[in-house]
Amino acid sequence: MQDFAEIDPYRFAAVLYRPEDDVDTMLARFAFERRRAGDRLGGIVQVNDKDGSGRQTGMSAVDLMTDRKVSLCQPLGSGAMACKLDAAGLAEASLAIGDAVAADVDLIVINKFSKQEAGGKGLRSEFADVILSGIPLLTAVPEKCLDAWVSFTGDRGTTLHCAPHVIGAWWQELSARLVRLPRQPHRGVQKPALLADHHV
């Protein structure tokens, strides 16, 4: 994505996570906390549905502008350990992201860049639209998809450790800078030692 070359790499950040990390809950909590603090957020966070034993049975997305809940997963049947992506839900998630770009919110969250996006599907084009808009983007990337994310972004962007205080520090630093700077492509950004470009 050579068009990303003019975008400030600090404006789009990916939380790199392992299978045992509950990154969905972490991003959702961060997003809801920032809304309560007065930030204008858009995009989607993932909420996982679980049964009485705590096993995941489905997943939904919450539109951060409207609080509308959208199903992202269609169960494959009783006893199935997986589900398939809900095409209608994906389309609604896409619209939620587009609405956030049009509203010029402070921050857009897209729950993750994962297998679908790595394969050229899912919300891949929406990721590109957000990055090119210059609106700050926060997402999560599983370790197995890091190479695909790096290829997609042209090895730009900021990679964050999977920890709430790291995400909070990134947003605090970026939002403070955005008060002083217009939303235009920007180069030569220095990052606090707490954060790292494609390193964990």
What CATH number has the domain bearing residue 173?
A: 3.40.50
Residue 72 in any domain: the answer is no
Residue 89's pLDDT is 85
- 193, part of any domain: no
- Per-residue DSSP letter, 5: G
Average the pLDDT over 122-137 and give the result: 95
The torsion defined by the Cα of 22, 27, 32 and 34, in degrees rounded to 10, comes to 140
The structure tokens 């891949």 sit at 124
**pLDDT category of residue 3 using cuts at 50, 70 and 90:** confident
Rg over alpha carbons for the chain, rounded to the nearest Å, is 16
Pick the residue with more confidence: 195 or 179? 179
**What domain range is 22 assigned to?**
2-47+105-180
The mean pLDDT of the chain is 84
CA angle 17, 12, 119 (to 5 degrees): 60
Strands 158-160 and 12-17: parallel
199 pLDDT band (50/70/90 cuts)? very low
Determine, yes or no, domain membership for 14.
yes
- What was the pLDDT predicted at 196? 44
Residue 99 belongs to some domain of the structure: no
pLDDT(181) > 80 = no
What is the total count of domains within the chain? 1
What band does 183 get if pLDDT is binned at 50, 70 and 90? low
Task: Give the model's pLDDT for residue 74.
Answer: 62
